[in-house]
Structure 1
Amino acid sequence: MSKTRLEAFSDGVLAVAITLLVLDLHVDPGKGGSLLAQLGAAWPSFVAYVVSFLVIGVIWVNHHSIFRFAVTIDRLLLFWNLMLLMFVTTIPFTTSTLAGALADGDASDVRVAAVLYGGATTGFAVAFTFVWGRITLDLLRSGAMGAPERKRSMLRFSAGTVLYPILTLVGVLYAPAMLAGFALVSVYYLFNQTGASEA
């Protein structure tokens, strides 16, 4: 399979996932209470939307960035890319579940929703790390990247595999802090470079 086809498929899946997020944003101006009060009551949906949009958006940016370095598109890389997309497509569901639980205020439901959201993010962090690991292995074998450079790059790129589970535990205690943490990790990944030089 060509790299162009893989990227086109991935772009389509990511575009659908990020678009689905907005479907859970709604108010009903003609139904009880002022519009401002409804918007205020719906704050969990808006906050979760912004964080999840940022998360998926940064995934899209970094997906493009790392596939510039891909030399070979083999079955293993396709598999890890599919795993990445599988977890990313759960984000609209976990976002709406978390927002609904926060709006309802049931503490046990919020904890379950936080674990669902954190599990999805941890899943795509692990899959993304394997995608980058497969790409850099080819770079290492071709001599385009040295072993120390690859190690540094993998450590920087795989930070989410540690941070997301920690933030999930934070979410079990206080979900808004977890969302703030996910936003900060997304900002880190927005500005974090892979550490690889242009091939």
Structure 2
Amino acid sequence: MGKTRLEAFSDGVIAILITIMVLEMKVPHGGTLDTLLEVWPVFFSYILSFIYVGIYWNNHHHMLHTCHRVTGGILWANLHLLFWLSLIPFASGWVGENHFASAPAALYGLVLLMAAIAYFILQQQIIATQGPDSILKKAVGTDWKGKLSPITYATGIPLAFWYPLVSMALYVTMAMIWLIPDRRIEKVLRNHDA
């Protein structure tokens, strides 16, 4: 199977997730700036979640460029990733509406952890399918960000029950680290095509 349907389906799901997140934001009642201050946690959690979904979409796009054929294992691993990404709007809404309370902050971290694990599984499935000379395997290398992410989320989950704002700060830090463009896949693809 070619990868076109997989890419189109994934892009569609991710676009819907972003749309759902913005539609869940309720317009505050009142015409003063003070009314906006009341909803800042909701807006903040939306921005953070939008960034996370964008990071996954960007990296997913680059990762699929290294894939030449799609197997059933890749399809299921991709659905597994999309499942966890689909929970981001719910977790984002809960953490924002409850002003970063402990349980919502822990759930937010759990969703991020599971999405990171699902992404790793998809990555490994693609590497296994493409064989020992996999372009993705060459590009991934040591993948320090991929290893640091689950550790950070796993630390933030229990921490949320004592210091939820510190937990959220860990999630923000990880998003900022991932915002720095990772050119490994592009570099390997350029060298491979040359």
Q: Bigger shift: 39-48 or 94-103?
A: 94-103
Match of residue 3 from structure 1: 3
Determine which of 96, 99, 109 is the counterpart of 2:93.
96
Structure 2 letter corresponding to 1:122: L
* 1:152 match: 142
State the alpha-carbon separation in 2 of the partners of residues 149 and 16 from structure 1: 29
Would the aligned equivalents of 1:55 and 1:183 in 2 still touch at CA under 8 Å?
A: no
Partner of 1:188: 177
Checking the alignment, whether the CA contact within 8 Å between 1:24 and 1:45 is kept in structure 2 is: no
Q: Who is 1:131 aligned against?
A: 122
Q: Structure 2 counterpart of 1:116, which letter?
A: L
Q: Residues 103 and 160 of structure 2 are in contact (CA less than 8 Å); yes or no, is this contact kept in structure 1?
A: no
Inter-CA distance 147–8: structure 2 relative to 1 (3 Å threshold): closer
1:157: Cα distance to partner?
2.5
Report how far residue 133 of structure 1 moved: 1.3
Task: State the Cα RMSD in Å.
Answer: 2.3
Aligned residue pair count: 187
Q: 1:59: Cα distance to partner?
A: 0.7
Q: Which of 39, 42, 57 is the aligned partner of 2:39? A: 42
In structure 1, the residue matched to 2:71 is 74
CA–CA separation in structure 1 for the residues paired with 2:162 and 2:53: 24
- Range with bigger deviation, 187-196 or 162-171: 187-196
Report the equivalent of 2:167.
178
- Distance in 1 (CA, whole Å) between partners of 2:33 and 2:127 is 50
Match of 1:117? Answer: 108
Q: Percent identity among equivalent residues? A: 26
Alpha-carbon separation, structure 2, partners of 1:175 and 1:46: 17
TM-score by length of 2: 0.85
Q: Cα–Cα, structure 1 residues 65 and 37, in superposed 2: closer, same or farther, change >3 Å?
A: same
Corresponding residue for residue 18 of structure 2: 18
CA contact (8 A) 2:105 2:168 kept: no
Contact preservation (8 Å) 1:77, 1:134: yes
Aligned in 2, Cα 1:158/1:82: closer, same or farther, shift over 3 Å? farther
* Contact 2:66–2:136 (8 Å) recurs in 1: no
> Matched residue of 2:8: which SS?
helix
Whole-angstrom CA distance in 1 between matches of 2:4 and 2:112:
26
> Could you say if the C-alpha distance between residues 44 and 135 of structure 1 is closer, same or farther in structure 2, counting changes exceeding 3 Å?
same
Contact 1:149–1:195 under 8 Å retained in 2: yes
Q: CA deviation at 1:68?
A: 0.7
Deviation of 1:139 after TM superposition, in Å, equals: 4.4
Distance in 2 (alpha carbons) for counterparts of 1:172 and 1:40: 25
1:165 alignment partner, one of 141, 154, 161: 154
Structure 1 gaps of 5+ residues are 104-109
The runs of at least 4 aligned residues of structure 1 exceeding 3 Å deviation read: 144-151
Gaps of 5+ in 2: none
TM-score, scaled relative to structure 1: 0.83
What residue identity is the alignment partner of 2:96? Answer: A
Q: Is residue 66–residue 135 contact of structure 2 (8 Å, CA) maintained in 1?
A: no
Distance 1:114 1:150 in 2: 30
